[in-house]
Structure 1
Amino acid sequence: MNDPVLLVKECLKGKPAAQKQLYQLYASQMLGVCYRYTKSMEDAEDVLQEGFIRVFKFLHQYKGEAELGAWIRRIMVNTALNYLKQSKKYQNDLLFDKAELHIVSSDDPEVKLNAKELAQLIRQLPTGYQTIFNLHAIEGYTHVEIGQMLGISEGTSRSQYMRGRHLLISWMNNTAGNKKLGYAK
């Protein structure tokens, strides 16, 4: 069944085969989304399972206005954020200080990394930086939206994003330097 609207209708009728197909269609992609917000694959799998529970619970609210994958992605992001807020091992990492930073250069580094290397660097960011970086740079949320989602000010979101970005640039420059010198990272 390739038609998402028909697949949703079949899921809403409670048909297990349709529910399984919906899960199989989106699970691997959504696991990647969940993994971007957590520090382990085990945590990402927990978020994925909780996210799909929410998908099936709220599937009746899907109106077909947005692409089904985008609708599911938003649920996964919100589920990941809730997981981070509720998990004891992530709570301290999500404490954002209110101090504003000076403006960090917005110049893009002249570093070429492949997507996998960049993803690995992003995962090494402290959880708060990683979360805000993913929400803004990857998911496309504004700092106002991020502030509302995380219960922080727009300014805090901006400063945490810039700190994370600055750290990434530093690591990227370091990684590129190591590659030029022939060091394995």
Structure 2
Amino acid sequence: METLSYQDVNHHVINRCKSGDNRAQYELYKLYSKAMFNVSMRITNDYAEAEDVLQEAFISAFKNLHSYKAEASFGSWLKKIVVNAAINAVRKRRAELVPMDERTAGEIADEVYDDDTDWQVEKVRRGIQKLPDGYRVVLSLYLLEGYDHAEIGEILGISESTSKSQYSRAKKKLIEIMQEPMLVA
């Protein structure tokens, strides 16, 4: 049986990376770092931790670049690495029993928005940040990263039905949070 491969638009840079070209690694980093940081940030909900996850994910990707078989885009392959690294960071944090709200409460600056749309987007973003880790991770993976519940279950080591119920509970909790008045400075 013939396997189909995906021709990535950056295949020339990827091939140079595979041959050990450090400049090509930097090019790949520049191409994907912003998007991958955003993925990491949505899952970890902590800027410094998201930066650490990003660095660890790129190191892992470069070490394991030989396993990239071009069956999908490099970006989707890298995104899986980032998602797994971010989830591991959240799990590690949970094991250390450090509540998320206490770590980030002083770090979030209140901003006043002139445009009502910006204000609503900010309210949703802050609401998602206030969700418990489990709810936020499932909601982010489903709504923002585009994974289905079967994939989320596989990534998190939970059943598909658990992913669905976590998502449902996350939506309900987010609605509750959204109904709370938002304080602005």
TM range (shorter): 0.7 to 0.9
Equivalent position SS for 2:64: helix
Alignment match, 1:184:
184
CA 1:155/1:53 → structure 2, altered by over 3 Å: closer, same or farther? same
- The letter for the 2-side match of 1:49 is Q
The yes-or-no answer on 1:49 pairing with 2:55 is yes
Match of 1:70 among 76, 81, 91: 76
Q: CA deviation at 1:155?
A: 2.3
Alignment match, 2:143:
137
The yes-or-no answer on 1:128 pairing with 2:160 is no
Q: CA deviation at 1:158?
A: 1.5
Stretches of 4+ moved more than 6 A in 1? 90-93
Identity %: 39
Q: Distance in 2 between matches of 1:60 and 1:116?
A: 41
Q: Distance in 2 between matches of 1:13 and 1:151?
A: 35
Deviations 1:103-159 (A, max 9, x none): xxxxxxxx9665444223212111010011111122222222222222222222221
Alignment match, 1:12:
18
Q: Distance in 1 between matches of 2:71 and 2:124?
A: 33
Q: Distance in 2 between matches of 1:133 and 1:90?
A: 22
- Written as runs of structure 1 = structure 2, the 5 A alignment for 1:44-123 is 44-87=50-93, 88-89=95-96, 114-123=120-129
Alignment match, 2:157:
151
Residues 24-33 or 83-92, more deviating:
83-92
Compute the TM-score of the two structures, normalised by the length of structure 2.
0.75
- The letter for the 1-side match of 2:163 is S
Alignment match, 1:163:
169
The yes-or-no answer on 1:39 pairing with 2:84 is no
Question: 2:40–2:86: 8 Å Cα contact kept in structure 1?
Answer: yes
- The letter for the 2-side match of 1:75 is I
Question: 2:39–2:145: 8 Å Cα contact kept in structure 1?
Answer: no
Q: Where does structure 1 lack aligned partners over 5 or more consecutive residues?
A: 94-110
Say what the alpha-carbon RMSD is for the aligned residues: 2.6
Q: CA deviation at 1:54?
A: 1.4
